[in-house]
C-alpha cells in the first residue's frame, strides 16, 4: 500500500488515548555569559510556550493525522492542570475525559532552551504514585464508556500513575472482547500487564532492559529481539524503535526492518509519540505492514525537524504524499 493510501485509510478513524497527561513547558532565551555565582550559563529569557505532552501529545498527533480522538487521563487541581486542560481544548481534543485529583500535582516538564534549540536544563514536577480509589475507577469507567465508539485504544503509559495494572488489564480484556485493538507504548516495569494486547512498542533501551541484554541491543539483533518480546509478552505485534537507525517489527506474518528517514534533527522530543500515534491508527484501519512503519518513520522525521514537542503539519503530510504516491 502506498503511503498516500495509508494516510487516506487512517483519516477519520476514531481513537481513545488513555494515559499520563503532561504539560510540556519551554523557556526560550539566549546564552549571554557564565554566571559569577556558579559555573552555569546565564539565559536571557525571550519567550515561553506550553503544549500538551506525553499522552496528550500522542492524542494531538492522532488529531493531526486526521483522526477523531478522545482522551482520558488525570491532572491535579493546580494551575498547571488548568493550563493543560485549556491546551487540550485549544488543540481540539476537549477536556471531558480529564479527571481531577486534588492529591496530585499535574505532571509538568519545564525545559530551558538557549539559542533556539540547545536544551540547557529540564525541571520535572510529578507524582508517580498509582492513582487509587475513586480516581482509578473513574479512569476505568470513562475509558470503558468510550470503547464502543472507537476503532483503537492507545494506552500511553509513562509510569506516572494514571494507568494502573487493573486499568490496563481491564482495557486489554474488554478491548479483546469488543474486537478493538489495544496498542501501548509502556515501560518495561509494566509490560506484564499487556498480555493479549494487539501491539506494544518499546525503544531500543527499554527492549534491552526487559531482555536483560548487558551490552544493549544492536541493530542487527533488533528483529530477533522484537520476535522474542512478542513471544514472551504474549502480544500480537511488537515494534522496537531504534532512533536514527529505524524500527524493527514482529507479528504473526514474521519480522521486518524499516530504516529511519535521514533528516536534519533539531529535537527528538516527542518523536516516539508520533510513531506510536501513526502505528495505532494503522491498527485502527486493520493494517500492520512494512509501509505502515515507513509512514511512521516519515511522520516522525517531520516532527524531529521542529524544536520541542510537535505534531506533523498539513504541509508535512502533503510533502509525504508527494514523495510517496
| CATH code assigned at 167 | 3.40.1190.20
- Residues near 228 by beta carbon (within 8 Å), at least 6 away in sequence: 211
Residue 185 pLDDT > 70, yes or no?
yes
pLDDT of residue 254: 95
pLDDT, tens only, 305-325: 777 667 899 999 999 998 765
Please report whether residue 49 resides in a domain. Answer: no
Please report whether residue 105 resides in a domain. Answer: no
pLDDT, tens only, 207-241: 999 999 998 999 999 999 999 999 999 999 999 99
Please report whether residue 169 resides in a domain. Answer: yes
Band of residue 171 on the pLDDT scale cut at 50, 70, 90: very high
Q: Could you list the residue range(s) of the whole structural domain that residue 239 is in?
A: 3-21+54-100+128-323
Q: How confident is the model over 62-70, as a mean pLDDT?
A: 96
Residue 24 pLDDT > 60, yes or no?
yes
pLDDT, tens only, 263-306: 765 557 678 899 999 999 999 999 999 999 999 999 998 888 77
User: Which residues does residue 27 pair with via DSSP β-bridges, in sequence order?
Assistant: 48, 112
Residue 80 pLDDT > 80, yes or no?
yes
- Check if the beta carbon of residue 273 is closer than 8 Å to that of residue 309: yes
Please report whether residue 38 resides in a domain. Answer: no
User: From its phi and psi, is residue 66 left (phi > 0), alpha (psi between -120 and 50) or beta?
Assistant: left
Q: How confident is the model over 25-42, as a mean pLDDT?
A: 93
Q: H or E stretch including 109?
A: strand 108-114
Please report whether residue 136 resides in a domain. Answer: yes
The SS3 assignment for 271 reads: helix
Query: What's the total number of domains in the chain?
Result: 1
Q: How confident is the model over 9-19, as a mean pLDDT?
A: 96
Q: Is 273 a catalytic residue?
A: yes
- Residue 67: φ, ψ to 5°: -90, 160
Of the candidates 292, 312, 288, 291, which has an alpha carbon nearest to the alpha carbon of residue 300? 312
Residue 82 pLDDT > 80, yes or no?
yes
Please report whether residue 111 resides in a domain. Answer: no
Q: How confident is the model over 25-40, as a mean pLDDT?
A: 93
- Residues near 295 by beta carbon (within 8 Å), at least 6 away in sequence: 3, 6, 7, 278, 282, 320
E-only strand ranges, 164-223: 182-184, 199-203
How many angstroms separate the CA atoms of 273 and 241, rounded?
Answer: 11
Q: How confident is the model over 123-130, as a mean pLDDT?
A: 94
Please report whether residue 62 resides in a domain. Answer: yes
Please report whether residue 165 resides in a domain. Answer: yes
Cell 503511503 locates to: 3
Q: H or E stretch including 135?
A: helix 133-146
Half-sphere exposure of 146 (CA within 13 A, CB side): 23
Catalytic position from the list 8, 273, 291, 316? 273
pLDDT of residue 308: 67
pLDDT of residue 303: 87
Band of residue 78 on the pLDDT scale cut at 50, 70, 90: very high
Q: In what side-by-side order are the strands of the sheet with 14-19? A: 98-100, 68-75, 14-19, 152-156, 182-184, 199-203, 237-241, 246-251, 254-259
User: From its phi and psi, is residue 191 left (phi > 0), alpha (psi between -120 and 50) or beta?
Assistant: alpha
**Average pLDDT over all residues of the chain:** 93
Q: H or E stretch including 200?
A: strand 199-203
Amino acid at each position: 500500500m502506498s503511503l498516500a493510501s495509508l494516510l487516506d485509510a487512517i483519516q477519520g478513524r476514531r481513537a481513545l488515548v488513555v494515559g499520563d497527561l503532561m504539560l510540556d513547558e519551554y523557556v526560550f532565551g539566549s546564552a549571554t555569559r557564565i554566571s559569577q555565582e556558579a559555573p552555569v550559563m546565564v539565559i536571557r529569557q525571550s519567550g515561553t510556550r506550553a503544549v500538551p505532552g506525553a499522552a496528550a501529545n500522542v492524542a494531538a498527533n492522532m488529531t493531526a493525522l486526521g483522526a477523531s480522538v478522545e482522551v482520558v487521563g488525570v491532572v491535579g487541581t493546580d494551575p498547571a492542570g488548568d493550563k493543560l486542560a485549556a491546551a487540550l481544548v485549544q488543540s481540539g481534543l476537549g477536556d471531558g475525559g480529564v479527571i481531577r485529583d486534588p492529591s496530585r500535582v499535574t505532571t509538568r516538564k519545564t525545559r530551558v532552551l538557549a539559542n533556539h534549540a540547545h536544551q540547557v536544563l529540564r525541571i520535572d514536577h510529578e507524582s508517580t504514585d498509582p492513582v487509587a480509589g475513586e480516581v482509578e475507577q473513574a479512569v476505568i469507567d470513562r475509558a470503558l464508556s468510550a470503547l464502543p465508539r472507537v476503532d483503537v485504544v492507545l494506552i500511553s503509559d509513562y509510569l506516572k500513575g494514571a494507568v494502573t495494572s487493573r486499568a490496563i488489564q481491564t482495557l486489554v480484556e474488554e478491548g479483546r472482547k469488543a474486537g478493538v485493538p489495544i496498542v501501548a507504548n509502556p515501560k518495561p516495569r509494566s509490560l506484564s500487564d499487556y498480555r493479549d494486547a494487539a501491539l506494544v512498542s518499546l525503544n531500543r533501551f527499554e527492549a534491552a532492559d526487559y531482555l536483560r541484554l548487558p551490552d544493549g541491543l544492536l541493530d542487527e539483533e533488533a528483529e530477533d529481539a522484537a520476535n522474542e518480546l512478542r513471544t514472551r509478552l504474549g502480544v500480537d505485534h511488537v515494534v522496537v524503535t531504534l532512533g536514527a537507525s529505524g524500527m524493527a517489527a514482529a507479528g504473526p506474518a514474521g519480522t521486518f526492518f524499516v530504516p529511519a528517514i535521514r533528516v536534519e534533527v533539531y529535537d527528538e522530543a516527542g518523536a516516539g509519540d508520533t510513531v506510536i500515534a501513526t502505528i495505532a491508527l494503522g491498527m485502527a484501519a486493520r493494517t500492520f505492514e512494512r509501509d505502515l512503519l515507513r509512514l511512521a518513520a516519515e511522520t516522525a522525521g517531520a516532527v524531529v525537524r521542529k524544536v520541542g514537542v510537535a505534531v506533523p503539519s498539513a504541509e508535512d503530510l502533503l510533502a509525504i504524499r508527494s514523495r510517496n504516491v
